[in-house]
Amino acid sequence: MRESFRTESKEWGPFLHLFKQEQVPAKTVLLNEGSVSRKAFYIEKGCVRAWFNNDGKDVSFQFFIEGQGVSSIESFRTNQPSLFTLETIEPCILRSISKKDFQLILDNSPIIRQQIEEHTFQRLIFYQKLFLSRIKDNPEKRYRDLLENNPEILERIPQHYIASFLGITSVSLSRIRNRR
């Protein structure tokens, strides 16, 4: 889940003026499911979750923390409605960028273009692993993997979001935690 890229690197320096710094409180929706994404975000501080509505129940499927970029890349690139919502979990300090300014960076920096391609590729790998884990692993194995690979998530994210991410109820998550 930690597929970060750094906007502090020297390559990004000439373009930092294109980013708008935003301070947003917890539980702020950055993008609604069904809306077209007009911004991409870089998280300086805080935590964001990606979730979708499944018959009235929200299902968390990814969490983003400091040093990571987040957007509905499919919507951002294609102007199609987003398949999910982006919402802050904690108060956040974000840098946002418009599609036009993002494209300007890509057009003018082959190094940044390569970084973004690698970031996108890493995100694809994450989704592939998540998809296969949902098919072949039981919730306890998914919890152990989360504990091993992303312990900071378990410390920062409310239990009901973690349960949703694992595809179980909060009660089931409590049982799994108590077995450890």
- pLDDT for 38-81, tens place per residue? 999 999 999 999 999 999 999 999 999 999 999 998 999 999 99
The C-alpha atoms of residue 145 and residue 77 are separated, in whole angstroms, by: 31
C-alpha closest to that of 37 among 99, 89, 91, 88:
99
> Residue 103: CB partners within 8 Å, gap ≥ 6?
none
C-alpha closest to that of 173 among 60, 46, 89, 27:
60
Is the pLDDT confidence value at 4 over 70?
A: no
The C-alpha atoms of residue 17 and residue 10 are separated, in whole angstroms, by: 13
pLDDT, mean over the chain: 91
Is the pLDDT confidence value at 2 over 70?
A: no
Is the pLDDT confidence value at 1 over 50?
A: no
- Residue 8 confidence (pLDDT): 54
pLDDT band at residue 7, thresholds of 50, 70 and 90?
low
Task: Read off the pLDDT of residues 135-149 as tens digits, 9 standing for 90 and up.
Answer: 999 999 999 999 998
Q: Which domains does the chain have, with CATH numbers?
A: 1-109 (2.60.120.10)
Is the pLDDT confidence value at 96 over 80?
A: yes
Supply the Cα-derived Rg of the chain in whole angstroms: 17
Answer for the pair 60, 164: CB distance below 8 angstroms, yes or no. Answer: yes
> Residue 148: CB partners within 8 Å, gap ≥ 6?
none
By percentage, how much of the chain surpasses pLDDT 90?
71
